[in-house]
Structure 1
Amino acid sequence: MIRVPADLNELCDAFAVNNEEIEHYLDIETGKVIMWMDPIATGIRDEELDDELENGFGERYFHLPKIESREAYQLMVEFTEALTFSSLRDRLEAALSGRKPFRAFKDVLYDFPEEREQWFTFERNAHRRQVLQWLELNHIILDSL
């Protein structure tokens, strides 16, 4: 097992970034989460970072997974199905079956602050479980900061 002084919340935040142009890596020596951005998208190439990540990949730098769109969508479905407030559940189901379901889902929840906070907690807990599973698969133990 590898002991790493990393912040679980920071790892969860990186996991939640579903952007093809952004990748995150965990530096197991420092515990820092490193963000790499596609130079084609940014117009800027950080050759030093590219070399460092390439040379230490799998030894010092571990590529962090990110939530896939289908997984994020499934979380919204699970949250919606668990709701007892039928009016909100109906509105969220309609949002999820329409155009731009991610935006529509958030727009509906905006009018329900209590349930919106429940969603954030539900989503954060799901991300936490997935990150903890990834850490276990890679034999990484987080040291408390």
Structure 2
Amino acid sequence: MLDLASIDVEEIAAALADPTDYDHRWLLDPRTGEVVFWTSDTGIDGENPIEIDELDLILIDPLPSYIWYRDMVDFADGISNGTARRRLAAALEGRGAFRRFKHQIYDSFPDLIPYWHAFRDVRAHGRAVDWLLENELIDDDAAAKFAADHPEPTLP
């Protein structure tokens, strides 16, 4: 088992959110917890191409976009300001929801930016810890302690 304190949970969260085109992938070394970036052209060292299946590393497959979309919906639903809640909810309808949601927060409700970042990050980091647990790289106690130490923030 890896020591959760020595793992870059933020980096794993970023990898889980990075939609892949299979020309690049994120991987984790199960011995050290180090996250590495692989490309089909330059391998993991930036110079030597290597087939991904030749590496003794664990692929970090990105999560589907609907999971990240759900975060935006939950955030919008949790806002007490009725105008902000309605405009964010409307931004989430149809194609381009991620872009419209971002524009609403940054352009119309900049006071919500730190709340959105905190909310998004806690959820993303929690998913990274869940991924580590599912891959049997940390134990249940470490995951439970992380969850207890990183509750979702209160929304305005």
Q: Tell me the TM-score range normalised by the shorter chain.
A: 0.7 to 0.9
CA drift of 1:124 comes to: 0.8
What corresponds to 2:138 in structure 1? 141
Q: CA RMSD for the aligned pairs?
A: 2.5
**Match 1:29 to one of 23, 31, 52:** 31
- Contact kept? 1:2, 1:139, Cα under 8 Å: no
What letter is aligned with 1:127? Answer: A
What corresponds to 1:62 in structure 2? 58
CA drift of 1:66 comes to: 1.7
What corresponds to 2:122 in structure 1? 125
- Paired-residue identity, %: 29
Give me the TM-score of the superposition, normalised by structure 1: 0.78
What corresponds to 1:78 in structure 2? 74
Give me the TM-score of the superposition, normalised by structure 2: 0.73
CA distance in 2, matches of 1:104, 1:119: 14
What corresponds to 1:88 in structure 2? 84
CA distance in 2, matches of 1:34, 1:101: 30
Q: Where in structure 1 do 4 or more consecutive aligned residues deviate above 2 Å?
A: 1-6, 18-22, 28-32, 44-51
The aligned length equals 134
CA drift of 1:31 comes to: 3.0
Using CA pairs below 8 Å that are at least 6 residues apart, which structure has the higher relative contact order?
1
The 3-state SS of whatever aligns with 1:50 is: coil
What corresponds to 2:19 in structure 1? 18
- Residues 40-77 of structure 1: CA distance to partner in whole angstroms, max 9, x if unpaired? xxxx36494533x4233xxx411113231111111111
What letter is aligned with 2:54? Answer: N
Question: What 5-or-longer segments of structure 1 have no aligned partner?
Answer: none
The 3-state SS of whatever aligns with 1:72 is: helix
CA distance in 1, matches of 2:111, 2:49: 42
CA 1:3 to 1:55, structure 2 compared with 1: closer, same or farther past 3 Å? farther
- Contact kept? 1:12, 1:127, Cα under 8 Å: yes
